Structure 1
Amino acid sequence: MTRHLCAIALSLSLLTPFVAEAQGVAGSYLAGRQAQYENDFAAIGEYYADALRRDSSNPRMVEAALIAFVNQGDMARAITLANRFNLTGAQNQVSNIVYTAEQAASGNFARLAEDLTAGREIGPLVDGLLLGWAALGEGDVTGAMEQFDTVSQQQGLGGFANYHKALATAVVGDFEGALALFGPETAGSLANTRRSVMMRAEMLSQLDRNTDAIELLETAFDGDLDPGLRDLRMKLADGQMVPFTGVTSAQDGLAEVFFTVAAALRNETSPDYTLLYARTADYIRSDFVDAVIMSAQLLEELENYPLAVAAYDRVPRDHLSFHAAEIGRAEALYSGGNPDAAIEVMQQLMETHGDIAVVHSTLGDIFRREERYDDASQAYDRALDLTPSDDPNAWFLHYARGITHEREDRWFKAEEDFRKALELRPGQPSVLNYLGYSLVEKDMKLDEALEMIEQAAEARPDSGYILDSLGWVFYRLGRYQEAVEPMEKAAALMPVDPIVNDHLGDVLWAVGRQTEARFQWSRALSFDPEEDDAERIRRKLEVGLDIVLEEEGEPPLPKADQDG
C-alpha cells in the first residue's frame, strides 16, 4: 500500500524547481516560487496565472497554478485553466484530477469513465476506484463490483478496494454484504477510523442490530464518545433505525475516493499534496464536512491560517462536528496571531457546547499560553468537573492545571495536580520532569526530584528540557561533575535556549571551567532571555557566580581550580 501512495505523491511536482522559459515572465515566476515556499496559495495562483497569460506553454507552471487554485478552494478557476490546458492536447496528473472533479461533481459518469479509459489518468489506485463508482453511477452494479475486485488484485490495494466495494454494496441496499466486506480482516485499517466505525454502526442499525452497533461504538472508542458519536449511540439506544448516511450515491463514492486517498497520504507525504485530494473530495460532495475539516487541518499544518479559519467557518452550526470545527478555528486564529478572536470563539462556543470538557480545556490552553493563569485554572476546573475522576485521559488536565497553579504561586494545589496526573498516568515523562524541576527550584525533596527526573530522562533521552532538568538537579545537590554531561547534552539539543545556556554556564563555573562559563553566559544573553534573567547573567559576567551567590545570600560553591 505504501509504495502506491508514495507513487501518487511523487508524481506531483508542486515543489519541483523549473526555469522560466521567457524573460518576460521571470518576475511573476519568481514571485510565484517565493509564494510556494510560504504556502500562500492565493499569491501562487495569481503570480503564475499572470505568467501564464504571457507564456501558456509551460506545463509545470500550469501544474503549480492548478494546485494553488485547488488548495485555496477556488475550483472554478482551476477548472477553467485545466480545460484551456487540455485544449492544447497536453495534460498532467493535476489537470486530470481537476477535470475528473468537474465530471464527478456534475454526475457525468459516462464521460468520466470514458476519459479515464482513454488515458486521462491520475494513478492506478484512484483510477480503478473511480471506474468502479462511475459504473455504479451508470446503473451497472455488476460491472462496479467486478471493477473493485480488479483493483483488489493489485498488490497492497485490497483494503482500499474492499472498503469501497463495501460502501457501494451499502449504497444499493445490501447492508449484510457490505458488513462482510467492511471488517478489519478485509478492509484493513480503513475499517477502524471514526468515519468507518460510524458507517458500520449505521449499517448494523439498518439490519435491526442496534445492540451490536452500540457494542461496536463502545469497543472502538473505549467509551470516549464525542458529541457525534454520543448522538449516534443515543439514537441506537432509543431503538431508532438510524439511516445510512456515510455514502448515499455514486457521486458521494467518487468524493470518498479522494478523501480515502487523502487520509492515507497524511502519513506518507507533505500536507500540500494531501490537501489537493481533500479539497477535491470537498468539491465533489458539497456536504462533506469531514473533508472540509481535513482541509482546514492541513492548511493549519501549512501555516496558512487565514484559509484554515475560512475552511473551519464553513461547517454548519447545526452539524455534530461544529464544536470540533470551532476549536480548530480558534487554534488557527491563535496561531495566526489573533488571540483575542480565538478566546472570543471559545467563549461563544461555551454558550452552546458548555457540556463538553474539551471546549473548556481548549480555552484553558489558550489562556495558559497568554499567561492568564488564573483564567486558565478556572477553565481547567470546568473541564475536570465534566470529566470522570478516574478517566486516565484526565492526566493532561491535571498537568495543565498544575502548571497554572505553579505559575500563580499556588504550590500546594500545583503539587496535588501533578501527583494526580502521575496517579492517572504513571511514569509520564513531562509530568515527572515538571514536578521534579519545580521541586528543585523550590529546594524541596531534592532526592525525590532527582529520582523523578532520572526516570523522565530514561524515558526521553533526547529531550533537551529533561536533560537540562537532570543537570540542574545535580547542580542543586552539589554534584557538579555529574551535572556537566547532561547539561552539555541539553545545550547541544537546544543550542539557542537562554535558560539552558545559562544553566550550563553555572555548572561549568562550579567545576572551575570559568572561561567556558563566561562564554555560555554570553551566549545565553544573546538569545533574548527574560529581563530578570538577563540582569543576573550580566552581573555574573561582571563579577562571577561566586559573588552573585553571595549577594543573593546563597551558600558559596566549593573551591575548584581555575578552568578545571
Structure 2
Amino acid sequence: MGDYLAGSYARYLNDPKAQSRFYQDAFVLAPDDIRIGRLALYSALFAGDQALARETAARILETDPDESMARAIMSVDAFARGRTARVRKFATKPTADFTMGQAMKIVLGWTLVDEGKYARAREVFGDMGDSAYFGALGQLQIAKMEAQQGNMSEARKAFDLVAASGVAPQEYTLARARFEAASGDVQGAKARLKAAIADNGRADIGPAGAYLRRLDAGKRLPRLSEKAQAARALTEPAFGFFVRRKSADGAETFLRFSRWIDPDYDLSALWLGGLIEETHPDIDPGTRDDVLELYQSIDERSSYFVNAQMSVANIYFDQEEDERALVILEALAESHPSYFTREVLGRARFFREQWAEALPFYDALVESLSSDELRINPEPLRLRGIIFERLDRWSEAEADFKRVLDYQPDDSQTLNYLGYTWVDRGEHLDEAFTLIERAVELEPESGAIVDSLGWAHYKLGRYAEAKTHLETAVLLTPYSATIIDHLGDAYWRLGRKREATYQWQRALEYDPTDEERVAIQAKLDAGVDAVPAS
C-alpha cells in the first residue's frame, strides 16, 4: 500500500520516473492486481522506459491474457521489431477499450500491408469507424495504401472522403501531394503544397515547404515505409482527437507508441514535448530536461528543426534565460532565413522592448510583403509603427499607422494607438477623439481602449468625463498599473486626493514600468503636478 500511495503522490507531482518506480514496486507485491499492473504499465511507458513497459505487459498477460493495454504494448513492440506474427497474435483479438483498440487496428493494418495482405488491411482500416474522426483516419490509411500499390482510382476515392472530413489536414496534404506527384500531376502537387503554406501564414519551414523544394528541384517525393506510415497514423490523433476531448493520457499513449515504432519521426517528438509542457506546467527540472532532450533530438536536416528550436527557446524564455533564448533565435534566423524565422526573432525583441534591435527585422518583414499581403495582414506594419514611436521617430510611426488604417480602417488597435498618441502629443485632437471613439465601438470590453478615451478627456481637462471612462477601464482591466495610475490622476484633479493616493499605491502593486514607478512615487510624495501628464 505504501508504494502505491507513493506512486499516486508522484503522479500528483508530475514525476513520471518516480511514479513508475513506486508503481512497479507495488505491482511486484501484488502481481494479481491488474489495476496496479496497468498503472505500472502506463507509468513505465510515460517515463520512456520501453523495456520496462514490455516486461510489465508480459507479466500482466500471464494473469489476464485479454488485458488491452498490455496487448497494445506487445503489438507495438512486435511491429517495431518486425515480428508480424506476434502482432497478429496480440492485435487481432477484439477489445472494448476504445483507445487501445484503435492503436492496435493501426498497427495491425500496416502489418498486413507489410505482408502484402491488402484486402485484409483494407477491412481493418475500414473498421476504425467507431467515431467520425477515426473513420476518416482509417480512410486516410486506405488512401495511402492504395496509392503505394498504384491503385490510383481507389486511392483518389479514399482521399476525397478524407478531404471532406477535415481530419489530419497536414498528413492528408502531404500524402495527397505524394499521390499526385506519383500520378504525374506534379503541378497539382505543387499547388496543393503552396496553398497549405499560405494557410500556415507563409511558414514554409515544415514538411510542406520541404516537399515543395524537392519538387522544384526535380526530385521525387519520398516513399514511406509501413513503420513510418503507422507512426504518422498514431501521431495525428494525439491533438486531433484526444487533446480536443481532454484526454491527455490518450494523446501521450499514442505519441509514445509512435516514437516506439519510428523514433526518427520528428513530429511525434515535437508534439510529445509540447504535450508534456501543456499538461504539466509545473514540471520538475528532470522532466524539463527530458522535454529539452526531445526537442534537441531533432537535427538540422529535419523539416521540424525550426519548430523544435523555437520550442527550446520558449523553455529558456520561461526560465527567464532570455539571452540564451535569443541566441537560439538569432542562429535560427541566420541558418534558416525566412519570413517566419525573422518574424519570430523580431517579435521576441519587440516584446522585450529591445526597440533598436527589433527594427531591422520589421523593416525586412514590411519590405518583403506586397500591398495585397499587407492589406490582409498589416500587423508587421503596425508593430514597426510602435517601434518607431518608442524610438522617438514619430513621423515614421505616424506614416505606418496611417498605412495600416488605409488597408484596414477598422483595425481597433491602430485606431487606439494613433488616437491615444495624438492626444498625448496634443495634436489633431478632434480626429484623435474620432479614432478612439471608433475603437471603443469596435471593442467596448477592452480596458486599454476605454482607458485611451478616458485619458483623452483628461488631457483636455474634462476630468469628470475622464473619471467615468477610467473607472470603467479599471473594471475591465483591473490589474493594469497604467490604467489605475490614470484613474488616480483624474481623482486628484477632482479634489478626491485620498482616493487618488489609494489608486497610485495600488498601481505600484501591479508591476509598473520603471518609468511609471518613478512617476507614481513622485505623485505620492508631492501630488499630480510633480509629474507632467503623459
| Deviates most, 318-327 or 457-466 | 457-466
Q: Which residue of 2 aligns with 1:8?
A: none
In the alignment, the residues of structure 1 paired with residue 443 and residue 138 of structure 2 have an alpha-carbon distance, to the nearest angstrom, of 40
Q: Which residue of 2 aligns with 1:159?
A: 136
**1:233 partner amino acid:** L
| Aligned-pair CA distance for 1:458 | 3.7
Q: Is the 8 A contact 2:385 2:401 kept in 1?
A: yes
Are 1:345 and 2:328 matched, yes or no? yes
Provide TM-score, normalisation by structure 1.
Answer: 0.79
Residues matched between the structures, number: 521
Are 1:111 and 2:86 matched, yes or no? yes
Task: Find the residue that maps to 2:13 and give its secondary structure.
Answer: helix
Q: Is the 8 A contact 1:373 1:404 kept in 2?
A: yes
CA-to-aligned-CA distance 1:385-434 (integer Å, 9 cap, x gap): 44445423652222333333322222223333333344455433333333
Provide TM-score, normalisation by structure 2.
Answer: 0.83
Are 1:236 and 2:215 matched, yes or no? yes
Q: Which residue of 1 aligns with 2:234?
A: 258
Are 1:377 and 2:377 matched, yes or no? no
Q: Is the 8 A contact 2:106 2:234 kept in 1?
A: no
| Aligned-pair CA distance for 1:362 | 1.7
2:117 counterpart (140, 146, 156)? 140
Distance change (3 Å), C-alpha of 1:238 and 1:533: closer
Q: Which residue of 1 aligns with 2:349?
A: 367
Q: Which residue of 2 aligns with 1:279?
A: 256
1:269 counterpart (234, 246, 254)? 246
Q: Which residue of 1 aligns with 2:484?
A: 501
In the alignment, the residues of structure 2 paired with residue 460 and residue 219 of structure 1 have an alpha-carbon distance, to the nearest angstrom, of 32
In the alignment, the residues of structure 2 paired with residue 147 and residue 368 of structure 1 have an alpha-carbon distance, to the nearest angstrom, of 52
**2:82 partner amino acid:** G
Task: Find the residue that maps to 2:297 and give its secondary structure.
Answer: coil
Q: Is the 8 A contact 1:498 1:529 kept in 2?
A: yes
Distance change (3 Å), C-alpha of 1:413 and 1:239: same
Q: Is the 8 A contact 1:453 1:470 kept in 2?
A: yes
2:171 counterpart (195, 207, 229)? 195
| Aligned-pair CA distance for 1:487 | 3.2
Task: Find the residue that maps to 2:392 and give its secondary structure.
Answer: coil
Distance change (3 Å), C-alpha of 1:230 and 1:23: closer
Where does the alignment leave 5 or more consecutive residues of structure 1 unmatched?
1-21, 556-564
Q: Is the 8 A contact 2:378 2:407 kept in 1?
A: yes
In the alignment, the residues of structure 1 paired with residue 459 and residue 173 of structure 2 have an alpha-carbon distance, to the nearest angstrom, of 53
Q: Which residue of 1 aligns with 2:127?
A: 150
Q: Is the 8 A contact 2:197 2:209 kept in 1?
A: no
1:75 counterpart (43, 50, 74)? 50
Could you tell me the percent identity over the aligned residues? 27
Q: Is the 8 A contact 2:366 2:380 kept in 1?
A: yes
Q: Which residue of 1 aligns with 2:313?
A: 330
| Aligned-pair CA distance for 1:208 | 0.9
In the alignment, the residues of structure 2 paired with residue 141 and residue 155 of structure 1 have an alpha-carbon distance, to the nearest angstrom, of 23
| Aligned-pair CA distance for 1:312 | 2.0
CA-to-aligned-CA distance 1:323-367 (integer Å, 9 cap, x gap): 33223322332223322221222222233223x122222222222
Distance change (3 Å), C-alpha of 1:452 and 1:150: same
In the alignment, the residues of structure 1 paired with residue 23 and residue 450 of structure 2 have an alpha-carbon distance, to the nearest angstrom, of 48
| Aligned-pair CA distance for 1:293 | 2.2
Distance change (3 Å), C-alpha of 1:394 and 1:111: same
| Aligned-pair CA distance for 1:237 | 4.5
| Deviates most, 512-521 or 86-95 | 86-95
Distance change (3 Å), C-alpha of 1:186 and 1:324: closer
In the alignment, the residues of structure 1 paired with residue 34 and residue 484 of structure 2 have an alpha-carbon distance, to the nearest angstrom, of 51
Distance change (3 Å), C-alpha of 1:310 and 1:154: closer
| Deviates most, 475-484 or 157-166 | 475-484
Distance change (3 Å), C-alpha of 1:479 and 1:107: farther
CA-to-aligned-CA distance 1:245-284 (integer Å, 9 cap, x gap): 3x431x3333233212113134332656533322322221
Distance change (3 Å), C-alpha of 1:270 and 1:425: farther
Q: Which residue of 2 aligns with 1:293?
A: 270
In the alignment, the residues of structure 1 paired with residue 394 and residue 247 of structure 2 have an alpha-carbon distance, to the nearest angstrom, of 43
1:217 counterpart (186, 193, 200)? 193
CA RMSD of aligned residues (A): 3.6
1:400 counterpart (370, 374, 383)? 383
Task: Find the residue that maps to 2:127 and give its secondary structure.
Answer: helix
CA-to-aligned-CA distance 1:208-242 (integer Å, 9 cap, x gap): 111222232334444836144344334435554x2
Q: Is the 8 A contact 1:158 1:187 kept in 2?
A: no
Q: Is the 8 A contact 2:137 2:233 kept in 1?
A: no
In the alignment, the residues of structure 2 paired with residue 399 and residue 61 of structure 1 have an alpha-carbon distance, to the nearest angstrom, of 57
Q: Is the 8 A contact 2:197 2:204 kept in 1?
A: no
CA-to-aligned-CA distance 1:76-98 (integer Å, 9 cap, x gap): 44444444444443987665554
Distance change (3 Å), C-alpha of 1:375 and 1:536: closer
In the alignment, the residues of structure 2 paired with residue 125 and residue 429 of structure 1 have an alpha-carbon distance, to the nearest angstrom, of 47
Task: Find the residue that maps to 1:529 and give its secondary structure.
Answer: coil
Q: Which residue of 1 aligns with 2:182?
A: 206
In the alignment, the residues of structure 2 paired with residue 479 and residue 435 of structure 1 have an alpha-carbon distance, to the nearest angstrom, of 20
Q: Is the 8 A contact 2:203 2:339 kept in 1?
A: no
Q: Is the 8 A contact 2:177 2:190 kept in 1?
A: yes
Q: Is the 8 A contact 2:450 2:473 kept in 1?
A: yes
Q: Is the 8 A contact 2:16 2:47 kept in 1?
A: yes
| Aligned-pair CA distance for 1:163 | 1.6
In the alignment, the residues of structure 2 paired with residue 427 and residue 93 of structure 1 have an alpha-carbon distance, to the nearest angstrom, of 56
Are 1:530 and 2:530 matched, yes or no? no
